[in-house]
Amino acid sequence: MLEAVAFWIDEPGIGALHRQPIARAGEGDVLVRTSFTGISRGTEASVFLGRVPISEHERMRAPFQEGDFPGPVKYGYLNVGVVEHGPEALRGRTVFTLFPHQSAFVVPADAVVPVPRGVPARRAVLAGAVETAVNVLWDAAPLIGDRVTIVGAGMIGCCIARLIRGIPELDVVLVDVDTSRHEVADRLGVRFAEPGDAPGNRDLVINSSGSEAGLQLALESVVTDGEVIEASWYGDRPVTLALGADFHSRRLTIRSSQVGAVARRRRGTRTTRDRLTLALELLQDAAFDTLLTGHSPWSDLPAVMAGLATERSAELCHTIDWKDAS
């Protein structure tokens, strides 16, 4: 048996590194040595703090999660590593896997997706976020010339903004309460606005802020008969909206988008693997490096996760370096 170091949430708010055995790779499996993992801050903070609603305990399971909510649980899904053992076509390849924070692991070969040669390994941890953004845009179906607002300049909102800007003649505005996101928006090639300056009469509004204030602003910003795409996940937090104003008279719609299933518009023609492969191809765009805002060695992961979950921070994607973890 081999051994690996893995990050576990022992109980809500308490994380630790544990050594655990991993089976040897059999026929049809790969052994992956992790290079980097990424922290999906919004979701992983909710998991770390034990804020997954009981009703969602099964639906929220990550593909290779161990344990159960609220803990002990091993959770995560942004893992980039190198195949050390497996089919010849994969041996030595850098791959992305929806696997938790762990130094090495064995999974079926079809669970890994090769990272394109032009994508650096650290940038590739953003594949999960870009995949989510692709799904949101399949749901939203923006059109040439649309006026688009994205509320919330977190990791998902920024990925959506970078992808959508490629459609001709779109006016794209990224809205956030954090004025430091202005520089991020500039690097992504879109306009920035604070909530008080957010434009109205928008053809399409996507909320990725994870806040009720953000969703309310999205409703106030969209055109009459318009649709707001809700891309946030709130965990066990209640959301209150002022629907007694013009919500009904303007015939507004709120529609959810989430990454668990391929968007309905593409469900008959694309698989989740197709979507993830597309996301990795899109990461050849070096502008996504703007979202890599923090970096720590694996030994600091318990403290880093606790800090990201409980403290205010301008972090977008914090990566963990697993070099020298045995």
Residue 169 gets the label, from left (phi > 0), alpha (psi -120 to 50) or beta, of: left
Give one DSSP letter per residue of 40-84, joined into a string. Answer: -HHHHHHHHTT---GGGTTTT--TT-EE-TTSSEE----EEEEEE
Same fold, 2-118+284-321 and 129-266: no
The whole-number pLDDT of residue 1 equals 65
Three-class SS of residue 122? Answer: coil
This prediction has a pTM of 0.94
By the 8 A CB rule, do 182 and 262 touch?
no
What is the distance between the alpha carbons of residues 130 and 113, in angstroms, rounded to a whole number?
Answer: 14
What is the distance between the alpha carbons of residues 173 and 182, in angstroms, rounded to a whole number?
Answer: 11
Please give the distance of CA 227 from its chain centroid, rounded to a whole number. Answer: 23
Q: Which amino acid, one-letter code, is at 17? A: L
Q: Which helix (H) or strand (E) holds 277?
A: helix 272-282
Report the CATH fold assignment for 2-118+284-321. Answer: Quinone Oxidoreductase; Chain A, domain 1 (3.90.180)
Q: Where are the domains of the chain?
A: 2-118+284-321, 129-266
Report the CATH fold assignment for 129-266. Answer: Rossmann fold (3.40.50)
Q: Tens-of-pLDDT digits for all 326 residues of the chain?
A: 689 999 999 999 999 999 999 988 999 999 999 999 999 988 999 999 999 999 999 999 999 999 999 999 999 999 999 999 999 999 999 999 999 999 999 999 999 999 999 999 999 999 999 999 999 999 999 999 999 999 999 999 999 999 999 999 999 999 999 999 999 999 999 999 999 999 999 999 999 999 999 999 999 999 999 999 999 988 888 999 999 889 999 999 999 998 989 999 999 999 999 999 999 999 999 999 999 999 999 999 999 999 999 988 889 999 999 999 97
The whole-number pLDDT of residue 170 equals 97
What is the distance between the alpha carbons of residues 107 and 233, in angstroms, rounded to a whole number?
Answer: 28
Q: Which amino acid, one-letter code, is at 321? A: D
